[in-house]
Amino acid sequence: MTNTIVRRSGAVEGGVLPVLRSRRSIRRYTDRAVSEEHQELLVEALLRSPTSRNGKSWEFVLVDDRALLERLALAKSQGGGFLRDAALAIVLAGDSSKSDVWIEDAAIAGIVVQVAAHSLGLGTCWVQIRNRAHDENTSAEAYVQRLLELPEHMKVAAVISIGHPAESKPTIPAGDLDFGKVRHNRYSEIRQGRRHAPQASGRS
């Protein structure tokens, strides 16, 4: 995917915007591995993600072992089964002894790496772990901590599944975006901006 700058109505657009427009959550993957080169780029994206006061409370576990991926897919009763078909999973963890905003730090890294992955032609999906249950007696977080041997202070926010897409989803038209979610100066005032931004072409 290129980052060609496109000019529309005098505006200059390029860089990350076309990537954001075409990115969709992908839950079906081919059996093709994620190359070492792409893994290194994803690691770089993770380590470049911003953190509160540059505290770098996040830490990450990359999982490509098929047996571990199968077990990660069982972390919660629903919403994570597609991990078993992913070529790679990235566990977003945070050091709760280092920062009280480890969740925010990890979440920022999660979206950064998903955008980076999409720019490389990979599909991703967020699998929520924090505040989810594995079963009646065990949290999804505790399950992942035990499975991957994380110490108690290393909390788990989510897992990102990654692979080469085996499904294609259309981009969401700009006219379908919920502009009513954006206010101006006061919550009572909905921002009266351009409601029909340029639509992305192609599919994710």
Give me the mean pLDDT over the 55-82 stretch.
Answer: 98
Q: Are 63 and 88 in contact (CB under 8 A)?
A: yes
Q: What is the pTM of this model?
A: 0.88
Render pLDDT for 8-55 as a digit per residue (tens, 0 to 9).
444 556 788 999 999 999 999 999 999 999 999 999 999 999 999 999
Give me the mean pLDDT over the 86-113 stretch.
Answer: 98
Query: In this predicted structure, what is the pLDDT of residue 198?
Result: 44
- Clarify whether residues 157 and 175 are in a common domain: no
- Clarify whether residues 164 and 99 are in a common domain: yes
pLDDT band at 193 (very low <50, low <70, confident <90, very high): confident
d(CA 138, CA 157): 16
Terminal Cα-to-Cα distance of the chain (whole angstroms): 11
Residue 161 belongs to domain with CATH number: 3.40.109.10
- Clarify whether residues 66 and 103 are in a common domain: yes
By percentage, how much of the chain surpasses pLDDT 70? Answer: 88
> Is 81 a member of any domain?
yes
Range of the domain at 60: 24-169
Match 């566990």 to its residue by tokens: 91
Q: What domain count does the chain have?
A: 2
Residue 44 CA, chain-centre distance (Å), reads 15
76 Cβ neighbours under 8 A, 6+ residues apart: 127, 128, 129, 132, 133, 134, 140, 143
